[in-house]
Amino acid sequence: MKYTQLGRTGLKVSRLVLGTMNFGPQTDEADSHAIMDAALGAGINYFDTANVYGWGENKGRTEEIVGSWFAKGGERRDKVVLATKVYGNMAAEGDAWPNHDKLSALNIRRAVEASLKRLGTDYIDIYQFHHVDRSTPFEEIWQAVDVLVQQGKILYAGSSNFPGYKIAQANEIAARRGGTIGLVSEQCLYNLAERRAEMEVVPAAREYGLGVIPWSPLHGGLLGGVIRKQAQGGRRAGGRAADALADTGIRTQIQSYEDLLDKHGIEPGEAALAWLLTRPGVTGPIVGPRTAEQLDSALRAVELELSEEVLTGLDEIFPGPGPSPEAFAW
Protein backbone atom coordinates (compact mmCIF):
# COMPACT_ATOMS: atom_id res chain seq x y z
CA MET A 1 0.00 0.00 0.00
CA LYS A 2 1.12 3.55 -0.71
CA TYR A 3 0.57 6.41 1.72
CA THR A 4 0.37 10.17 1.55
CA GLN A 5 -0.28 13.14 3.81
CA LEU A 6 -3.91 14.14 4.24
CA GLY A 7 -3.86 17.65 2.81
CA ARG A 8 -1.74 20.02 4.84
CA THR A 9 -1.87 17.83 7.97
CA GLY A 10 0.81 15.57 9.37
CA LEU A 11 -1.59 12.63 9.15
CA LYS A 12 -0.45 9.75 6.92
CA VAL A 13 -3.24 7.88 5.16
CA SER A 14 -3.50 5.14 2.55
CA ARG A 15 -4.11 6.00 -1.12
CA LEU A 16 -7.33 3.99 -0.92
CA VAL A 17 -10.08 4.78 1.58
CA LEU A 18 -12.30 1.94 2.74
CA GLY A 19 -15.91 3.04 2.46
CA THR A 20 -18.34 1.18 4.71
CA MET A 21 -21.72 2.30 3.35
CA ASN A 22 -22.61 -1.24 2.23
CA PHE A 23 -21.95 -2.72 5.67
CA GLY A 24 -25.35 -3.61 7.03
CA PRO A 25 -27.63 -2.86 4.07
CA GLN A 26 -25.84 -5.15 1.59
CA THR A 27 -23.05 -6.92 3.48
CA ASP A 28 -23.73 -8.71 6.76
CA GLU A 29 -21.68 -8.19 9.89
CA ALA A 30 -19.44 -11.25 9.49
CA ASP A 31 -18.56 -10.46 5.88
CA SER A 32 -18.07 -6.78 6.78
CA HIS A 33 -15.59 -7.80 9.47
CA ALA A 34 -13.77 -10.01 6.96
CA ILE A 35 -13.51 -7.14 4.46
CA MET A 36 -12.16 -4.78 7.14
CA ASP A 37 -9.61 -7.41 8.20
CA ALA A 38 -8.52 -7.84 4.58
CA ALA A 39 -8.31 -4.09 4.03
CA LEU A 40 -6.21 -3.57 7.15
CA GLY A 41 -4.04 -6.54 6.21
CA ALA A 42 -3.43 -4.92 2.83
CA GLY A 43 -2.33 -1.68 4.49
CA ILE A 44 -5.50 0.41 4.12
CA ASN A 45 -5.58 2.52 7.26
CA TYR A 46 -8.26 5.10 6.31
CA PHE A 47 -11.83 3.94 7.05
CA ASP A 48 -14.83 6.12 6.24
CA THR A 49 -18.38 5.88 7.56
CA ALA A 50 -21.32 8.13 8.53
CA ASN A 51 -23.87 8.22 11.30
CA VAL A 52 -26.78 7.72 8.86
CA TYR A 53 -25.31 4.65 7.14
CA GLY A 54 -27.59 1.68 7.54
CA TRP A 55 -30.38 3.95 6.36
CA GLY A 56 -34.09 4.01 7.21
CA GLU A 57 -34.91 2.20 10.42
CA ASN A 58 -31.32 0.95 10.59
CA LYS A 59 -29.54 4.33 10.67
CA GLY A 60 -26.42 3.93 12.78
CA ARG A 61 -26.07 0.21 12.03
CA THR A 62 -22.92 0.65 9.95
CA GLU A 63 -21.14 2.48 12.76
CA GLU A 64 -22.17 -0.34 15.09
CA ILE A 65 -20.61 -2.92 12.74
CA VAL A 66 -17.36 -0.94 12.63
CA GLY A 67 -17.51 -0.68 16.42
CA SER A 68 -17.97 -4.42 16.89
CA TRP A 69 -14.95 -4.97 14.63
CA PHE A 70 -12.86 -2.59 16.77
CA ALA A 71 -13.99 -4.51 19.84
CA LYS A 72 -12.21 -7.62 18.55
CA GLY A 73 -8.94 -5.99 19.58
CA GLY A 74 -5.67 -6.72 17.85
CA GLU A 75 -4.85 -2.97 17.77
CA ARG A 76 -7.55 -2.50 15.15
CA ARG A 77 -8.60 0.92 16.45
CA ASP A 78 -5.03 2.15 16.89
CA LYS A 79 -4.12 1.26 13.30
CA VAL A 80 -7.14 2.93 11.71
CA VAL A 81 -7.67 6.58 10.79
CA LEU A 82 -11.40 6.75 11.46
CA ALA A 83 -13.68 9.20 9.68
CA THR A 84 -17.41 9.57 10.20
CA LYS A 85 -20.00 12.20 9.30
CA VAL A 86 -22.75 14.34 10.79
CA TYR A 87 -25.71 16.11 9.18
CA GLY A 88 -28.59 13.72 8.48
CA ASN A 89 -31.54 13.34 10.82
CA MET A 90 -31.05 10.37 13.12
CA ALA A 91 -34.55 10.36 14.61
CA ALA A 92 -36.90 7.50 13.76
CA GLU A 93 -38.84 7.87 10.54
CA GLY A 94 -41.84 10.12 11.07
CA ASP A 95 -40.46 11.28 14.43
CA ALA A 96 -38.00 13.99 13.36
CA TRP A 97 -37.76 16.66 16.03
CA PRO A 98 -36.13 20.07 15.51
CA ASN A 99 -32.36 20.08 16.12
CA HIS A 100 -31.99 16.36 15.35
CA ASP A 101 -30.08 17.10 12.16
CA LYS A 102 -27.72 19.51 10.41
CA LEU A 103 -24.82 21.40 12.01
CA SER A 104 -26.09 23.37 14.97
CA ALA A 105 -23.82 23.21 18.00
CA LEU A 106 -26.55 21.24 19.74
CA ASN A 107 -26.80 18.57 17.06
CA ILE A 108 -23.03 18.32 16.62
CA ARG A 109 -22.69 17.65 20.34
CA ARG A 110 -25.51 15.11 20.33
CA ALA A 111 -24.34 13.39 17.15
CA VAL A 112 -20.70 12.98 18.12
CA GLU A 113 -21.62 11.38 21.45
CA ALA A 114 -23.94 8.93 19.69
CA SER A 115 -21.32 8.07 17.05
CA LEU A 116 -18.66 7.47 19.71
CA LYS A 117 -20.99 5.07 21.48
CA ARG A 118 -21.87 3.14 18.32
CA LEU A 119 -18.24 3.01 17.20
CA GLY A 120 -17.03 1.89 20.61
CA THR A 121 -14.23 4.42 20.69
CA ASP A 122 -13.40 7.53 22.67
CA TYR A 123 -12.27 9.65 19.72
CA ILE A 124 -12.89 10.19 16.00
CA ASP A 125 -9.92 11.12 13.84
CA ILE A 126 -11.79 13.07 11.14
CA TYR A 127 -15.29 14.39 11.87
CA GLN A 128 -16.92 15.40 8.61
CA PHE A 129 -19.85 17.65 7.74
CA HIS A 130 -21.93 15.51 5.38
CA HIS A 131 -23.54 18.48 3.64
CA VAL A 132 -23.61 22.27 3.74
CA ASP A 133 -25.90 23.67 6.43
CA ARG A 134 -27.19 26.95 5.05
CA SER A 135 -28.87 27.82 8.36
CA THR A 136 -25.90 27.59 10.72
CA PRO A 137 -23.01 30.10 10.61
CA PHE A 138 -19.51 28.70 10.53
CA GLU A 139 -18.68 30.68 13.68
CA GLU A 140 -21.07 28.40 15.56
CA ILE A 141 -19.84 25.26 13.82
CA TRP A 142 -16.21 26.02 14.62
CA GLN A 143 -17.02 26.83 18.23
CA ALA A 144 -18.62 23.39 18.58
CA VAL A 145 -15.66 21.74 16.84
CA ASP A 146 -13.16 23.55 19.05
CA VAL A 147 -14.87 22.20 22.17
CA LEU A 148 -14.76 18.64 20.84
CA VAL A 149 -11.08 18.97 19.92
CA GLN A 150 -10.30 20.31 23.40
CA GLN A 151 -12.20 17.39 24.91
CA GLY A 152 -10.19 14.96 22.78
CA LYS A 153 -13.30 13.57 21.10
CA ILE A 154 -12.28 14.56 17.56
CA LEU A 155 -8.92 15.47 16.04
CA TYR A 156 -9.73 17.02 12.65
CA ALA A 157 -12.75 18.35 10.76
CA GLY A 158 -13.59 17.66 7.14
CA SER A 159 -16.36 18.42 4.68
CA SER A 160 -18.36 16.45 2.16
CA ASN A 161 -20.36 17.72 -0.82
CA PHE A 162 -19.21 21.32 -0.27
CA PRO A 163 -18.97 23.75 -3.18
CA GLY A 164 -15.68 25.58 -3.58
CA TYR A 165 -16.92 28.86 -2.14
CA LYS A 166 -18.09 27.13 1.05
CA ILE A 167 -14.67 25.50 1.49
CA ALA A 168 -13.15 28.96 1.22
CA GLN A 169 -15.70 30.54 3.54
CA ALA A 170 -15.29 27.82 6.17
CA ASN A 171 -11.52 28.10 6.28
CA GLU A 172 -11.42 31.90 6.14
CA ILE A 173 -13.71 32.06 9.16
CA ALA A 174 -11.61 29.42 10.91
CA ALA A 175 -8.49 31.50 10.26
CA ARG A 176 -10.14 34.65 11.64
CA ARG A 177 -11.14 32.82 14.81
CA GLY A 178 -7.55 31.71 15.39
CA GLY A 179 -6.53 28.42 16.96
CA THR A 180 -8.79 26.46 14.60
CA ILE A 181 -7.12 24.44 11.87
CA GLY A 182 -10.26 24.46 9.72
CA LEU A 183 -11.26 21.86 7.17
CA VAL A 184 -8.55 19.33 6.28
CA SER A 185 -10.43 17.19 3.74
CA GLU A 186 -13.30 17.32 1.25
CA GLN A 187 -15.24 14.30 0.02
CA CYS A 188 -16.79 15.02 -3.35
CA LEU A 189 -18.37 13.25 -6.30
CA TYR A 190 -15.45 12.94 -8.70
CA ASN A 191 -14.63 10.37 -11.35
CA LEU A 192 -13.91 10.07 -15.08
CA ALA A 193 -17.58 10.48 -15.98
CA GLU A 194 -18.21 13.33 -13.52
CA ARG A 195 -15.39 15.89 -13.56
CA ARG A 196 -17.21 19.09 -12.59
CA ALA A 197 -15.31 19.08 -9.28
CA GLU A 198 -12.23 20.15 -11.28
CA MET A 199 -13.78 23.58 -11.90
CA GLU A 200 -14.10 24.88 -8.34
CA VAL A 201 -14.05 22.20 -5.63
CA VAL A 202 -10.64 20.68 -6.32
CA PRO A 203 -8.94 24.08 -6.86
CA ALA A 204 -10.42 25.40 -3.60
CA ALA A 205 -9.34 22.28 -1.74
CA ARG A 206 -5.80 22.56 -3.08
CA GLU A 207 -5.62 26.29 -2.29
CA TYR A 208 -6.64 25.71 1.33
CA GLY A 209 -4.68 22.50 1.85
CA LEU A 210 -7.54 20.00 1.96
CA GLY A 211 -7.09 16.42 0.88
CA VAL A 212 -9.60 15.50 -1.85
CA ILE A 213 -11.45 12.21 -1.21
CA PRO A 214 -13.53 11.25 -4.26
CA TRP A 215 -16.66 9.23 -3.64
CA SER A 216 -18.40 7.03 -6.23
CA PRO A 217 -15.13 6.57 -8.17
CA LEU A 218 -16.86 4.10 -10.52
CA HIS A 219 -19.92 6.35 -10.90
CA GLY A 220 -22.34 3.81 -9.54
CA GLY A 221 -20.73 0.96 -11.51
CA LEU A 222 -20.82 2.76 -14.86
CA LEU A 223 -17.01 2.72 -15.07
CA GLY A 224 -16.60 -0.85 -13.88
CA GLY A 225 -16.99 -2.64 -17.19
CA VAL A 226 -20.77 -2.65 -17.07
CA ILE A 227 -21.41 -3.27 -20.79
CA ARG A 228 -19.00 -6.19 -20.95
CA LYS A 229 -20.51 -7.71 -17.81
CA GLN A 230 -23.98 -7.49 -19.29
CA ALA A 231 -22.79 -9.14 -22.50
CA GLN A 232 -21.28 -11.97 -20.45
CA GLY A 233 -24.53 -12.49 -18.56
CA GLY A 234 -23.29 -10.90 -15.37
CA ARG A 235 -25.01 -8.53 -12.98
CA ARG A 236 -27.06 -5.93 -14.81
CA ALA A 237 -26.53 -2.24 -14.17
CA GLY A 238 -28.81 -0.54 -11.69
CA GLY A 239 -29.38 2.92 -10.30
CA ARG A 240 -27.21 5.68 -11.76
CA ALA A 241 -25.46 3.33 -14.19
CA ALA A 242 -28.72 1.98 -15.65
CA ASP A 243 -30.13 5.48 -16.07
CA ALA A 244 -26.95 6.63 -17.82
CA LEU A 245 -26.80 3.68 -20.22
CA ALA A 246 -30.34 4.42 -21.36
CA ASP A 247 -28.83 7.48 -23.06
CA THR A 248 -27.41 6.41 -26.43
CA GLY A 249 -24.64 9.00 -26.32
CA ILE A 250 -23.44 7.90 -22.89
CA ARG A 251 -23.63 4.24 -23.84
CA THR A 252 -21.43 4.94 -26.86
CA GLN A 253 -18.99 6.80 -24.61
CA ILE A 254 -18.80 3.92 -22.13
CA GLN A 255 -18.33 1.42 -24.98
CA SER A 256 -15.37 3.49 -26.24
CA TYR A 257 -13.97 3.51 -22.70
CA GLU A 258 -14.20 -0.26 -22.37
CA ASP A 259 -12.77 -0.78 -25.86
CA LEU A 260 -9.76 1.42 -25.05
CA LEU A 261 -8.99 -0.53 -21.89
CA ASP A 262 -9.57 -3.90 -23.55
CA LYS A 263 -6.98 -2.89 -26.13
CA HIS A 264 -4.44 -2.34 -23.34
CA GLY A 265 -5.50 -5.32 -21.24
CA ILE A 266 -6.68 -3.20 -18.30
CA GLU A 267 -9.74 -3.83 -16.16
CA PRO A 268 -12.10 -0.83 -16.36
CA GLY A 269 -12.76 -0.51 -12.63
CA GLU A 270 -9.05 -0.60 -11.85
CA ALA A 271 -8.33 1.99 -14.53
CA ALA A 272 -10.97 4.36 -13.12
CA LEU A 273 -9.39 4.19 -9.67
CA ALA A 274 -5.84 4.46 -11.02
CA TRP A 275 -6.84 7.55 -13.03
CA LEU A 276 -8.08 9.28 -9.88
CA LEU A 277 -4.77 8.54 -8.19
CA THR A 278 -3.04 10.59 -10.92
CA ARG A 279 -5.21 13.67 -10.30
CA PRO A 280 -3.62 16.67 -8.56
CA GLY A 281 -4.89 17.12 -5.02
CA VAL A 282 -6.47 13.68 -4.69
CA THR A 283 -5.55 11.87 -1.49
CA GLY A 284 -7.38 8.68 -2.37
CA PRO A 285 -10.76 7.53 -3.62
CA ILE A 286 -13.33 5.83 -1.42
CA VAL A 287 -13.92 2.22 -2.40
CA GLY A 288 -17.03 0.56 -0.99
CA PRO A 289 -16.64 -3.17 -1.59
CA ARG A 290 -19.58 -5.49 -1.02
CA THR A 291 -17.29 -8.51 -1.34
CA ALA A 292 -13.65 -9.46 -0.76
CA GLU A 293 -13.21 -9.85 -4.54
CA GLN A 294 -14.17 -6.22 -5.12
CA LEU A 295 -11.61 -5.18 -2.52
CA ASP A 296 -8.91 -7.19 -4.30
CA SER A 297 -9.66 -5.38 -7.56
CA ALA A 298 -9.39 -1.99 -5.86
CA LEU A 299 -6.05 -2.92 -4.32
CA ARG A 300 -4.60 -3.76 -7.74
CA ALA A 301 -5.43 -0.24 -8.89
CA VAL A 302 -2.88 1.26 -6.48
CA GLU A 303 -0.05 -0.48 -8.34
CA LEU A 304 -1.43 0.20 -11.81
CA GLU A 305 0.57 2.70 -13.85
CA LEU A 306 -1.43 4.18 -16.72
CA SER A 307 0.60 5.03 -19.80
CA GLU A 308 0.45 8.43 -21.44
CA GLU A 309 -1.38 6.82 -24.34
CA VAL A 310 -4.10 5.52 -22.02
CA LEU A 311 -4.35 8.81 -20.10
CA THR A 312 -4.68 10.74 -23.35
CA GLY A 313 -7.33 8.32 -24.56
CA LEU A 314 -9.31 8.68 -21.34
CA ASP A 315 -9.21 12.46 -21.62
CA GLU A 316 -10.48 12.24 -25.19
CA ILE A 317 -13.41 10.03 -24.12
CA PHE A 318 -14.16 11.95 -20.92
CA PRO A 319 -12.95 15.53 -21.48
CA GLY A 320 -12.87 17.54 -18.29
CA PRO A 321 -14.46 20.98 -18.01
CA GLY A 322 -11.10 22.74 -18.01
CA PRO A 323 -9.85 25.18 -15.37
CA SER A 324 -12.00 27.98 -14.01
CA PRO A 325 -12.75 30.63 -15.00
CA GLU A 326 -11.82 29.65 -18.56
CA ALA A 327 -14.28 26.72 -18.42
CA PHE A 328 -17.24 29.05 -18.18
CA ALA A 329 -15.93 32.54 -18.94
CA TRP A 330 -15.08 32.06 -22.63
Q: Which residues are catalytic?
A: 53
Q: How far apart are CA 303 and CA 237, in angstroms?
A: 27
How far, in Å, CA of 40 to CA of 79, rounded?
8
**Which residue in 167, 176, 290, 188 sits closest to 235, CA to CA?**
290
* DSSP calls for 259-289: HHHHHTT--HHHHHHHHHHTSTTB---EE--
Give one DSSP letter per residue of 22-89, joined into a string: TBTTTB-HHHHHHHHHHHHHTT--EEE--TTTT-GGGTTHHHHHHHHHHTT-TTHHHH-EEEEEE-S-
**154: closest CA among 200, 208, 113?**
113
Is residue 325 reached through a cis peptide bond, with omega within 30 degrees of 0 on the bond before it? yes
Amino acid at site 244: A
